[in-house]
Structure 1
Amino acid sequence: MKIFRGAMATGLAVLVLSIGTAVAEDVSSQSGLYLYPDAELSGVVAAQLPKSAEECRSICSSRSGCVGFDHSVSENMCRIFASVTSARQSKTKMVAGSRVLITGFRNPVNMPAAQTPAQPPAPSVARLPPVQPPKPTVTRCIVADPTDTPTNVRDGPNGNILTTLNDGASVVISRIDRDSRGRPWAKVYGDAEGWVFRKFLRC
């Protein structure tokens, strides 16, 4: 009978360790422990030993098979958990830690801040040189009146005479327009400013 009981105890210990290893693999990616002051854990207890709270926490942090711990200050007792199913507010002074957040219980005191998704870098915008407005076309002309008389400069196409220009005078055309008879006139500036009969200019 004693042999049978011993075998059962050994089998139970192996089962607890197997459960603890399996659960630990699920949380092995977690670093550190979430701390819950004044909390008592429920789950599969893998070990129970008299240790301080700091020693209890250090043991759990260093062992891959430990999923959580709780420590009773009044009894100076440390419990190492192979799996944690829940937690509750302790009636006596206790502290607990878990590798995973405990569902349905309050947040730990070292709850990580919400991670803000990294924003993609703003696309670089190539800076183009400013567009220069096209330079106005300048048409330079020479007065060449075939009548061998000074060319009249008027205030509009076939308008009133303002002054005259001699043959060979240099002017620049800024605009072309027509009079009431459809004849072309050029608005010029240079040696004089006004309207000149277009056919009297050689450009």
Structure 2
Amino acid sequence: MLLTNNRQARLLFGVAFAAAALWPGIQTAGAQSTDVFFDYPQTMLNGPVSATVTIPVLESCRRLCSTRSGCIGFDYSSPGGLCRLFSAVVGAGDSQDHTAATRSLIPGYRPPTNPPAPPAPVPEVAAVEPPPASFSRFLNRDLTGGSIASMAAQDADQCEAICRTTGPLCRAYTYDAWNRKCFLKGETGQLLMNARATSGVISDLGAPSSSGAPVHMEYFNNKAFSGNGFRVVASPNRDTCGNECWNVEQCVAFGFTVSQRRCVLFDQPGEYFSSRGTDSGAKRQN
């Protein structure tokens, strides 16, 4: 019986040695694909060992682990050709005679010789500012839409800039050039003729409709408009000068100087000022 057992042991050892010698060319059915291992030279692993095999070269040990399901890592002893496969790696220690490799980094241990590539930097998300709102301007026009705020302004450009920086609440504005006042509007309403007004509407909203209200002449006695006007004619009195303005579509205001019988027609009058002996008028809708 003892002789039989010895023969069986020698037979099994020979089969194992032959398998080990031929291992580099053997692939098991359904073997998992080779994954990247992190290499730790001069390292011996700690953890549960799932298999121990004598293999002549390091790469055969690596291939065995890579094709064995559940193999988390291995270490290989070069003097004896001992390959240990691990189902888990809980730590590692220095060993001159061992070389180890693991599928994951060993926590609390020195980095491998082939550390993972650093993660790609996340591109900075640049805040995209919407393009500034553009406005369509309407000279000598007021807007019937209610005002959400009013403030002093030097000119229509400043009034428009205030509306733009107010945000989405401001959809239009009207600038009163004679009083240098800016009115911000949440809605446009309709356009009204008014010689003192310049209005702006966000272009995307389109042009507001024009009011059908009757046009009348608003008079300013002993007042003169700044500016040169677009036409100067002789006129005997204020009413005749006013009729000159009524008959010219371009004209929105006039100024009549009694002493000179001088009639000035304006298409965009500046602010008025006191001027004895000059009477002025401007077309307006209410």
TM-score normalised by length of structure 2: 0.40
Per the alignment, residue 72 of structure 2 pairs with: 67
Residue 66 of structure 1 aligns to a residue whose secondary structure is coil
Aligned ranges for residues 51-130 of structure 1 at < 5 Å?
A: 51-92=56-97, 94-115=98-119, 118=122, 122=126, 124-130=128-134
The answer to which structure, 1 or 2, has the higher relative contact order (CA under 8 A, 6+ apart) is 1
Q: How many residues align?
A: 146
> 1:39 Cα shift?
0.8
Partners of 2:238 and 2:56 lie apart in 1 by 125
What amino acid does structure 2 have at the position aligned with 1:175?
E
For the 8 Å contact 1:40–1:96, the answer to whether it is kept is yes
For the 8 Å contact 2:73–2:103, the answer to whether it is kept is yes
> 1:55 Cα shift?
1.4
Partners of 1:146 and 1:164 lie apart in 2 by 7
What amino acid does structure 1 have at the position aligned with 2:85?
I
Partners of 1:89 and 1:125 lie apart in 2 by 57
Flag structure 1 segments of 5+ consecutive residues without an equivalent.
1-27, 151-156, 186-195
What amino acid does structure 1 have at the position aligned with 2:52?
A
For the 8 Å contact 1:52–1:78, the answer to whether it is kept is no
Which whole-Å deviations, capped at 9, do the CAs of 1:160-179 have from their partners, x for residues lacking one? x8x763xxx65213332224
Partners of 1:198 and 1:170 lie apart in 2 by 9
Flag structure 2 segments of 5+ consecutive residues without an equivalent.
1-31, 141-193, 196-229, 242-254
- Partner of residue 176 from structure 1, selected from 269, 272, 276: 272
For the 8 Å contact 2:73–2:100, the answer to whether it is kept is yes
For the 8 Å contact 2:43–2:92, the answer to whether it is kept is yes
What amino acid does structure 2 have at the position aligned with 1:171?
L
Q: Which has the higher Rg, Structure 1 or Structure 2? A: 1
Partners of 2:47 and 2:238 lie apart in 1 by 120
What amino acid does structure 2 have at the position aligned with 1:59?
L
Partners of 2:75 and 2:283 lie apart in 1 by 107
Flag the 1:36–1:202 CA change in 2: closer, same or farther, 3 A.
closer
Per the alignment, residue 218 of structure 2 pairs with: none
> 1:143 Cα shift?
5.8
Q: Over aligned residue pairs, what C-alpha RMSD do you find?
A: 4.3
Residue 110 of structure 1 aligns to a residue whose secondary structure is coil
- Partner of residue 135 from structure 2, selected from 131, 136, 142: 131
Partners of 1:35 and 1:89 lie apart in 2 by 13
Per the alignment, residue 197 of structure 1 pairs with: 279
Partners of 1:119 and 1:176 lie apart in 2 by 59
